[in-house]
Amino acid sequence: MLSAKEALEWGLVNRVIPDAEFPQALAALARELAQGPTLAFGGAKLLFHQSTQESLETQMELEAQAIARSGQTEDFKTGVTAFAQKKAAAFKGR
């Protein structure tokens, strides 16, 4: 069993939040994710789940297809434009 501090030091978690601050931190993270590229997040989650059942070759093909599909989305274009302009992207889930 690891302490939260050890898990952070080992790189198993990204951050450790004190119990009293957890609800606020969770709400902030939920808002941040909701404002992100939700289509890409969903696609990544699907690929992650598929990875336990597919061969490496099949998984790589599925990932290549997902990347190609993502490149055709409005969110992709929004993200690239925002990055080039050094601005925050306003993703719409399209």
Cite the residue boundaries of each domain of the chain with CATH code 1.10.12.
38-84
Structure tokens at 42: 């969903």
> Which class is domain 38-84?
mainly alpha
The answer to whether the CB of 76 falls within 8 A of the CB of 70 is: yes
Cα distance between residue 62 and residue 69, in whole Å: 11
pTM: 0.70
Query: Each residue's pLDDT tens digit in the chain (94 positions)?
Result: 999 999 999 999 999 999 999 999 999 999 999 999 999 999 999 999 999 999 999 999 999 999 999 999 999 999 999 999 999 999 998 9
CA 88, 91, 38, 67 dihedral sign is negative
**Residue written as token pair 């939260």:** 4
For residue 40, the tally of other CB atoms under 10 A from its CB is: 19
